[in-house]
Amino acid sequence: MTTVSLASLPELGAPSVWPASAVSGPAGDLLVGGVSLAGLAGQYGTPLYVLDETEVRTRARAWLRAVPGAEVVYAAKAFLSRAVADWVREEGLGLDVCSAGELELAMSRGFPAARIVMHGNAKSPEDLRAALRHGVGRIVIDSDCEIARLAAHVPGPDPQRVMVRVLPGIEAGAHHKIRTGTEGQKFGLSLTSGDAEDAVARVLGQPRLELVGLHCHLGSQIASTEPYARAAHRMVGFLARIRERHGVTLPELDLGGGFAVPYLPGDPAPAPAAFGRRIRDELARACAEFDFPEPRLTLEPGRSVIAPAGVALYRVLSVKRSGREVFVAVDGGMSDNPRPSLYGARYTARMVGRSSAAPMRTATVVGRHCEAGDVLAESVELPEDIRPGDLLAVPASGAYHLSMASGYNLVGRPPLVAVAGGQERLLLRRETFEDCMRREVTP
Q: Which contacts of 33-38 are long-range, i.e. CB under 8 A and separated by 24 or more positions?
A: 33/419, 33/420, 33/421, 33/422, 33/423, 33/424, 34/419, 34/420, 34/421, 34/422, 34/423, 35/419, 35/422, 35/423, 35/424, 37/311, 37/313, 37/352, 37/353, 37/391, 37/393, 38/352, 38/353, 38/391
Q: Is the dihedral of CA 81, 82, 85, 86 positive or negative?
A: negative
pLDDT band at 176 (very low <50, low <70, confident <90, very high): low
Res 113 pLDDT > 70: yes
- Is 258 known to sit in a ligand binding site? yes
- Is 439 known to sit in a ligand binding site? no
Res 151 pLDDT > 70: yes
Q: Is the dihedral of CA 211, 214, 219, 223 positive or negative?
A: negative
Residue percentage of the chain with pLDDT more than 70: 93
- Is 74 known to sit in a ligand binding site? no
- Is 301 known to sit in a ligand binding site? yes
Q: CA end-to-end span of the chain, whole Å?
A: 55
Q: What pLDDT shows up at residue 11?
A: 36
d(CA 60, CA 305): 6
Alpha carbon separation from 308 to 119, 121, 268, 405 (Å, rounded): 24, 28, 14, 18
Q: State whether residue 334 is helix, strand or coil.
A: coil
CB count in 10 Å sphere of residue 164: 28
Give the CATH class of 4-52+308-437. mainly beta
Alpha carbon separation from 396 to 114, 123, 205, 313 (Å, rounded): 31, 30, 46, 12
pLDDT band at 121 (very low <50, low <70, confident <90, very high): confident
Condensed to tens digits (0 to 9), the pLDDT of residues 183-235 reads 667 778 988 888 999 999 999 999 999 999 999 998 888 988 999 999 999 99
- Is 90 known to sit in a ligand binding site? no
- Is 353 known to sit in a ligand binding site? no
pLDDT band at 172 (very low <50, low <70, confident <90, very high): low
Q: Angle at Cα 203 formed by Cα 202 and Cα 205, nearest 5°? A: 65
The pTM of the full predicted model, rounded to 2 decimals, is: 0.93
Res 115 pLDDT > 80: yes
CB count in 10 Å sphere of residue 116: 24
CB count in 10 Å sphere of residue 378: 15
Over residues 61-79, the mean pLDDT reads 97
User: Contact at 8 Å (CB) between 341 and 373?
Assistant: yes
**Mean pLDDT in the chain?**
92
Say if residue 112 is preceded by a cis peptide, omega within 30 of 0. no
Q: State whether residue 396 is helix, strand or coil.
A: coil
User: What secondary structure letter does DSSP report for 21?
Assistant: T
Q: State whether residue 299 is helix, strand or coil.
A: strand
Q: Cite the beta strand spans of 323-374 per DSSP E.
A: 325-330, 350-352, 360-366
Over residues 414-435, the mean pLDDT reads 97
Over residues 101-117, the mean pLDDT reads 97
Res 294 pLDDT > 70: yes
Q: Which residues are catalytic?
A: 370
Burial of residue 364 (number of CB atoms within 10 Å: 0-12, 13-18, 19+): middle
Q: Which amino acid is at 166?
A: V
Condensed to tens digits (0 to 9), the pLDDT of residues 376-401 reads 999 999 999 999 999 999 999 999 99
Q: State whether residue 27 is helix, strand or coil.
A: helix
Res 147 pLDDT > 70: yes
pLDDT band at 9 (very low <50, low <70, confident <90, very high): very low
User: Contact at 8 Å (CB) between 299 and 256?
Assistant: yes
User: What secondary structure letter does DSSP report for 335?
Assistant: T
Alpha carbon separation from 40 to 34, 35, 254, 432 (Å, rounded): 11, 8, 40, 19
Res 13 pLDDT > 50: no
Beta pairing, strands 252-254 & 209-215: parallel
d(CA 146, CA 151): 8
Res 57 pLDDT > 80: yes
d(CA 374, CA 365): 9
Cβ within 8 Å of residue 236, ≥6 positions away: 253, 283, 286, 287, 289, 290, 292, 295
Alpha carbon separation from 323 to 17, 54, 212 (Å, rounded): 31, 44, 62
Q: Does domain 54-305 sit in CATH 3.40.50.1820?
A: no
- Is 303 known to sit in a ligand binding site? yes
Q: State whether residue 303 is helix, strand or coil.
A: helix
Spell out the domain ranges in the chain: 4-52+308-437, 54-305
pLDDT band at 129 (very low <50, low <70, confident <90, very high): very high
Same fold, 4-52+308-437 and 54-305: no
Res 169 pLDDT > 90: no
Res 156 pLDDT > 90: no
Q: What pLDDT shows up at residue 16?
A: 73
Q: State whether residue 343 is helix, strand or coil.
A: helix
Q: What pLDDT shows up at residue 362?
A: 96
Q: What pLDDT shows up at residue 103?
A: 98
Q: Cite the beta strand spans of 111-183 per DSSP E.
A: 116-118, 138-141, 160-167
